[in-house]
Structure 1
Amino acid sequence: MGQTLFSVSRSSSLRRVGLAAIAFFLFSLTLTLHRHYTFYSTSDRGLFNQIFWNSLQGRFFHTSLASVLSPDAIYGGEISTITYNYLGQHFTPATLLWLPLYALFPHGVTLIVLQVTLVTAAGLVLYALAREYLNPPVSGMIACSFYSATAVLGPTLSNFHAIAQLPLLVFSALLALEKRWWWLFFPLIVCILGVHEQAGLIVFGMGIYLILSQRYTRLGMGLCTLSIVYVLTVTNLIMPQIADDIHQQFPIEQLGPYFKTDETSVFQIIGRIIYQPWLLILEVISSPGKPLRYLLNQGLPLAFIPAVAPAAWCISGFFLLFLLLGQGLSVLAITMDSAMAVVPGLFYGAILWWSGHRNSHRLYPQPLTPRFQKIWSACMMVSILLTITTNPSQTFYFLIPDSVNPLVFVSLPQQWEHAAKIRSMIDKIPPEASVSVTQEMIPHLSERREIIQLPAVEFSDAQHDRQQVEYVVADLWGLQRYQAAFPQKRHLFYYNVVLIDTLVQQRSYGILRFENGVALLRQNAANDAQAIAAWLGYRQTLNPLIENIHQELNPTSPVS
């Protein structure tokens, strides 16, 4: 009878987890595809699409879209170069694990499906991992918690990012550890390290847990040593060979400001952390609100159990500390991809807490009472509602205004109509042509070598010669709608309008089409009579707004 009840319980839990996985997959895939096709994806998705596309051509990790994010471009005024290697900015070789899949379906949408699939699969592996310790009902609750977590939902609904691989890889490695599948465990550790240069902190945390728990002390010491050697080797030897600006990015960008230095090396940073830890601690204490909210959001879907789970702090604590010490605490956004890296350790720690403690070689699991199950379910629902209200990556732009005062809201019919206008224009651009576009178009045109973001129109080609793009496409309608509430959009709107004015006046580019606030220009082409008339009429209506923005940017300069 007991065995029958257990089988029924297991079947019910499996069904619940399966339904949660299907719901998560369909919910996330539908929203991310809708966001993409209505031109709300941004340059990050296009960046990875271009990396995959270039890698298929043998130009591994080359991207013209990432070079503008390097310190040489930001501080040195360097233009985009099509030979820039992304590994010099973030070391993510494990991303190419999925290149064979992309080769079968070489399109940006493939990355959307891949990301949702990876995260969905991670929840199923988590259930299998939980079953190593827990009964089916508690294991099912933990898996459902994963699918309801804002730190999982938010980054999944965002642009493609390398960290989307981490939950699946870490859960799989921990499951292999429990099964003692060493043939699988060690390759997975290598893959985890290859996800990101900072993923070594996750492996280091796993090692600390194994040492303190005394389960595999020598293995834990090995993992700690491997992670330290890996991070120092990658950031000091490998990445500087790819891009000479690495020391200005990692970890100086993250920790350097606390030490009032611009040239400190990784080794010096580590030494100062050891000898001057109070500088970092004071930074966190001085701004307690944001870290506290972040931790509450991370713990909410698990009913805050990770707060009292030592293993959770061991595994995720070092990466979490790195985030808490981020410059200005700007990385503490629960919907950012970095939040997903904290998730595996918290959930594994929750599994171990629920498994209870050993006493006289007997295991005493924590009981799941009906009352706490209701509280836990309520926490999951609140987490889902919070995810929707935070509107991650503007996914719910058609439900939630991006700004209330002033009101900025775009309805579905408006955006669908506008998206059709954009698509009709970019479809006219040849596949091999060089282009510069506003960022929402980048994911749709990134299967090419020469693409940059407006208002830039120059790039460095394969021979390092300065070139101008053949086509320019500017979505001024979108920028104009958002400029009232967002200064960055306001300034981009101004710069793009001024750029089009300049290009047309210099006759270096001609306007081929202008419709619904979207301009298509081509180098050395004559203006289409109807398009230039439409542009001049639209431009006339912008004069007061352009003058106001000009005065904001140049208060002492008259409008030209």
Structure 2
Amino acid sequence: MLVQIWRLESLTATYDQALFLQELWSTAQGRPFESSLSSVLSGAVAVHGDLPRIDYLHLGQHANALTLLAAPLVVWIGPWALPLLQVTLLTAAGLVFWRVASRYLNQALALRLTCAYYLSGAVIGPMLENFHDLIWLPLLGFLVIEGLLERRWWQVACAALPLLLVREDSGLVLFSLGLWAVVRRPGARWVGAALMLLSLVWVVVMTTAIQPSFDSSLSDRFLQEKFGHLVDDVSGGTVQVVLAMLRRPGALLAALVSPPGTTLGFLLALSLPLLLVPLVSIDVALLVSAPLLVALLSQGRTALAVNLRYVLALVPGLYMGSLLWWKAHPGFWQQRWVRPAWTGALSLALTLALVGNPHRSLSAIVPDSFVPWVHVSPAQMLSRRAAALKAVALVPPQASVAADTPLLPLLARREVAIRLPNGVQYRDRDGATFSVDWVVAYPGYYTPMVPVFREEAEMQRLLLDQLASLQASGEYRQVHQDRGLVVLRRAQAQP
């Protein structure tokens, strides 16, 4: 929680933090799912070049209905609601896991498994990341599996239904849990079959009927980004993409193990905190089958990243499956080499997770680059924050604004917020085009990173070019500049 607070204070919380904050703020105002920041990422804008809309519904990208329950918390404590919810839910999931482990295993082994959960990069990474809607998966997944183990059908129902509301693809997690119950729990087979059917219907209906009626992002962006290497045309939707992939079994098998080094590293990193038990557990294989299949088949650098939020879909199966393996092999815990080996594996996994500086959350103490050396000290971070707060204070609370990524979490609680350098224009509810009243850019924020990181260097160049262009056009005039941070105000009032 302290690291998350520091991220907000030091401007290292970025775009998703602002997007979800605006979405929940809009929900609290009576406009559920609405977000102009989400519109910037929509298929209409990112693929087809349209302007962002202030009435765009994030539902077109992700059906995260459960996350909207946090809207009153945003009204109550503002931006602090997001890290509080994120850390609390992932911590609570570990406590539920401890409850189950201590019931089935001896205390020492249950404690070791719980430590593996809290010290895993698959939990630490998503916990330190920007706010995201997948934080519910471990808690609800553990509750569903516990209900299946204890034959508490009411608990299964009470956890499974909210699990579907996490996102449109959370049905993949529930499908795997149901598959495990059908294969491995004879007394719960009918419940497992019901969960499989329910999850399948949910995914198909949400991705083929409901979401496309709001936006084309699913086919224009997400399916293309994930499965474009396997399917030539993804415009037919989820079902058509699956059928098209099944017609190419050779390509599917190749994608499952390609690239082999990255795939093996991904599986080892997930299994290392658990002493590699998931690699030999049938229960784990069944419990993670669907989301793991999607991860292995997907393309892009985020598909097999252990510290990103997507890996939370695997966490319930990894840990509950490992618990069941230890329950079935009680004598293995008595071997003398197991405990020191497990301690070493946990220590190595934790070290790798922290040295990797997930999402630059630990940049105050871990350099962003060792060779060449790039490190922004905590004092410099606080200086940047002071400059940002001074600039942001100039923008009226309800004014329309365009800002670059580090500043957006400070400006997200308003109807119109656009990301720079995407532009300064947007469409209102009637489709009319307007320019924002304020532009707040921080090209100096990227200066320490420019010599090493190409992405930051390009961002700084784009921001400087856009600021110069806006002022040269006469549409905006500069009203503030301090330590590499610039504020522009629209020269004329909106018509």
| TM-score normalised over the length of structure 2 | 0.95
1:91 equivalent in alignment to 2:90:
no
Any idea what the Cα deviations from partners look like across 1:534-557, whole Å, max 9, x if unmatched? xxxxxxxxxxxxxxxxxxxxxxxx
Matches within 5 A, 1:38-49: 38-49=10-21
Corresponding position: 1:253 with 2:254? no
Q: Shift of residue 421 of structure 1?
A: 1.1
Following TM superposition, by how much is the alpha carbon of 1:257 offset from its aligned partner in structure 2, in angstroms? Answer: 2.3
**Cα distance between partner residues in 2 of 1:221 and 1:250:** 29
CA distance in 1, matches of 2:331, 2:454: 54
Q: Distance in 1 between matches of 2:443 and 2:269?
A: 36
Which among 57, 62, 65 is matched to residue 37 of structure 2? 65
Shift of 1:182: 2.1
Residue aligning to 2:346: 380
Which fold has the larger relative contact order, with Cα–Cα distance below 8 Å and residues 6 or more apart in sequence? 2
Q: State the 1:207 CA deviation.
A: 1.1
SS of the residue 1:216 aligns to: helix
Within the candidate set 340, 356, 361, 1:390 is matched to 356
Q: Aligned-residue CA RMSD in angstroms? A: 1.8
Counting matched residue pairs gives 491
CA contact (8 A) 1:89 1:249 kept: no
SS at structure 2 position matched to 1:259 = coil
Q: Which amino acid aligns with 1:465?
A: A
Task: Quote how far apart the aligned CAs of 1:282 are.
Answer: 1.0
SS in 1 for 2:30: coil
Q: CA deviation at 1:172?
A: 1.7
**Aligned runs of 1:228-239 on 2, under 5 Å?**
228-239=200-211
Inter-partner Cα distance in structure 1 for 2:355 and 2:289 = 28
* Secondary structure of the corresponding residue to residue 513 of structure 1: strand
Q: Which residue of 1 aligns with 2:53?
A: 81
Percent identity between the two aligned chains: 31
User: 2:43–2:215: 8 Å Cα contact kept in structure 1?
Assistant: no
CA change 1:245–1:164 in 2 (3 A) is closer
Amino acid at match of 2:409: P
Q: Does 1:424 align with 2:396?
A: no
Pairwise CA distance, 1:507: 2.4
Q: Is the 8 A contact 1:323 1:329 kept in 2?
A: no
Aligned-pair CA distance for 1:428:
2.2
Write the deviation string for residues 424-459 of structure 1: whole angstroms up to 9, x where unpaired.
111221110111111011111111110011121111
Residue 332 of structure 1 pairs with residue 304 of structure 2: yes
Q: Does 1:461 align with 2:428?
A: yes
SS in 1 for 2:104: coil
The corresponding residue for 2:291 is: 319
| Matched-pair contact (CA < 8 Å) for 2:94–2:118 | yes
Cα distance in structure 2, aligned partners of 1:419 and 1:323: 37
Asked whether the 8 Å contact 2:15–2:405 carries over to 1, the reply is yes
Assess if the C-alpha contact under 8 Å between 1:252 and 1:264 holds in 2: no
Q: Report 1:228-307 matches (<5 A).
A: 228-307=200-279
Alignment partner, residue 100 of structure 2: 129
CA distance in 2: counterparts of 1:391 and 1:255, whole angstroms: 29
Provide the C-alpha distance between the structure 2 equivalents of 1:384 and 1:350, rounded to a whole number of angstroms.
19
Offset at 1:332? 1.0
TM-score between the two structures when normalised by the length of structure 1: 0.84
- Residue number among 481, 484, 490 corresponding to 2:457 in the alignment: 490
1:80–1:460 CA contact under 8 A, matched in 2? yes
**Could you tell me which amino acid in structure 2 is paired with residue 35 of structure 1?**
R
Post-superposition shift, 1:405? 4.3
Question: CA separation in 2, counterparts of 1:464 and 1:396?
Answer: 42
1:403 to 362, 369, 372: 369
Residues 260-315 of structure 1: per-residue CA shift (max 9 Å, x gap): 22434322222233332221211233410111111111011111111111111101
- One-letter amino acid of the counterpart of residue 58, structure 2: Y
Q: Aligned-pair distance for 1:256?
A: 3.3
Unaligned runs of 5+ in 1: 1-28, 358-363, 527-560
